[in-house]
Structure 1
Amino acid sequence: MNPARIRIIAIGKVRKGWVSEGVALYLKRLPGLEVLELRDGGMAREAEAITAALRPEEQLVVLTEEGQSFDSVAFAQRLEGSGSVRLALVIGGADGIDPALKARASWRLSLSPMTFPHDLARLLLLEQLYRALTIQQGGPYHK
């Protein structure tokens, strides 16, 4: 996995200080990974903003509780299997992700069958991306 080939598109800003600190920590550990924050404003407007932000070369991956769940090793393998494809991982707003946008996604990812606030989902996703990178590199982070 090359962090520079991954972009997180997230609705809303991180408002909690402790979450911001965690996000900053993992972004330092994942150089090249970009996070784009979009304004919240209802599912339809958010879907339009996400669609407008997508780059032609990016494969859309939406985070949703009904998506595919992985353990950390399987997630690392799934990312490795993406090869040189650029991924846009989308975290929706309070109302979730528009069904039409979900239907366009190349794959759907679930961090858990539980629902999380968008800022906490961002932190969890970043941690799992870092864990995937260390698994692929054979590092000691994942035990």
Structure 2
Amino acid sequence: MARSMGHVTVAAVGRLRESHWQAAQEAYRGRLEHYTTFKLVEVKDAGGSSGAALAREGAALLAAVPRGARLILMSPDGRHMSSPELATFLQGQLETYGHLAFLIGGPSGFDPATAAAAHDRLALSRLTLPHELARVVLLEQLYRAFTILHGEPYHK
């Protein structure tokens, strides 16, 4: 798969405040940029679990991703995949749609309108993960998927 094959955007609610999460995020961002045009966008946490707060976060997420991108909601009720299955999924989606946008909600999740706008849903784990860790795990798994597609040894 050539680097120019597609674009990947990760849009997430909130900023990573701890330096160790920031360092991990930046490490994977740099690695992903070797394989795809990659963009990470953080939108403001609306500070609550009310319907209005979730709607503001959802609207900001949707506004932050390029028009026409294939929207993939990261959700505990999404499809579970192995790393090789994610690699196959990623390749197929990039070949078909060209631009993927992975949406990560805040600690309270997504409002119904944002969830309805998504084209697909994926889960990272059946376990409950802290929001910051979930973001880093997604970035790591995207990187792992690209190494699998390129036949590189990272994933072994």
The verdict on a shared fold, with TM-score over 0.5 as the criterion, is yes
For 2:75, the aligned partner's letter is T
Identity %: 40
Deviation at 1:54, TM superposition (A): 2.9
Partner in structure 2 of residue 91 of structure 1:
104
Q: Does 1:77 align with 2:79?
A: no
Q: Deviations over 1:59-83 (max 9, x none)?
A: 1111000000100000000001111
2:82 is aligned with 1:57 = no
Aligned partner letter, 1:101: T
Is 1:38 paired with 2:43? yes
TM-score (norm. length: structure 2): 0.86
Q: Give structure 1 stretches of 5+ with no counterpart.
A: none
Partners in 1 of 2:27 and 2:88 — Cα distance? 23
For 1:140 and 1:54, locate their aligned partners in 2 and report how far apart those are by CA, in whole Å.
31
Q: What TM-score, normalized to structure 1?
A: 0.93
Q: Is the 8 A contact 1:11 1:118 kept in 2?
A: no
| Mapped pair 1:9 → 2:11 | yes
CA distance in structure 1 between the aligned counterparts of 2:68 and 2:76, rounded to whole angstroms? 26
Mapping of 1:110-129 within 5 angstroms?
Answer: 110-129=123-142
Match of 2:49 in 1: none
- 1:134 corresponds to which letter in structure 2? T
What is the CA-CA distance between 1:16 and the residue it aligns to?
A: 1.4
The alignment yields a C-alpha RMSD, in angstroms, of 1.5
Which consecutive residues of structure 2, in runs of 5 or more, have no partner in the other structure? 47-52
